[in-house]
Amino acid sequence: MTRALAAAVAAAAMVVSLAGCDDKDQAGTSPVGRERAGEDRAGEDQADESVVTGQRNGGATSDLPGGLTTRQKLMLDNLPESGAVMAAGEYLQRFTTCERYSIDPADTRYYPMDEEFDESWGVRFRGTCDDAGDSYIRVFWTGTDGMKTFQEAYRADIAERVKKSPSAGIDGGFAIGRDFAVIAPDPDTVRQLSSSFLLVLNCNPNFEPVGDTSTAPAQVDGCVLTDDFTD
């Protein structure tokens, strides 16, 4: 009887040990949902670092100890880099209906005014394609060294517009990666972009994220990057 009791206790201890291992392993392997890659580590990482939400557009650095939060670092680390304007279009085709992608400057689907602002916005090449909503997706390729110029130009543009309307650009404007920006008028296309790891550039000083919206620092003060692709 003594041996039987000892065996039962040992078996129970093994079950507890295995259950503990399962809990620890599963904390880092939960399914990736709408919040995109990296959210699966929230259970373990958020015990040490809180996710920033409800933060106004205040600047390009976090005022939390240690700088970026885990969530912010994941958002920025996952920003896609295309390397070329043609590759940027091919990347978009993985997530959206982007048909007849063209980088021809003579393509009639470009907005005529775009070319006037290319240099001042840091844009080197442009691309365009048809989406499913009978509108055009426009791609602005800056290279990594031109993205800050692009963000500065957008911030200045929003500042002028806010003088006339405080809500100008309140939902953000461009979806951006490390070296390219995208604008898509169709709401369905915008929602499709939510799974692309691009982030929305928001430079409206009155913007306040709500709900589960997360923000990360942009490259310029007064702007933030958000994962809110709702219109």
The more confident residue out of 185 and 178 is 178
Question: Which pTM was predicted?
Answer: 0.71
Tally of residues, the chain:
231
**Does residue 32 carry a pLDDT above 80?**
no
Which backbone phi and psi does 146 adopt, to 5 degrees? -105, -5
Q: For 108-122, write each residue's pLDDT tens digit.
A: 898 888 888 999 999
Average pLDDT value for residue range 39-62? 38
What does the DSSP assignment read for 57-88?
S--SS--STTSS-HHHHHHHHT----SSHHHH
Whole-angstrom Cα distance, residue 152 to residue 140? 15
Give the strand pairing for 136-141 and 99-102: unpaired
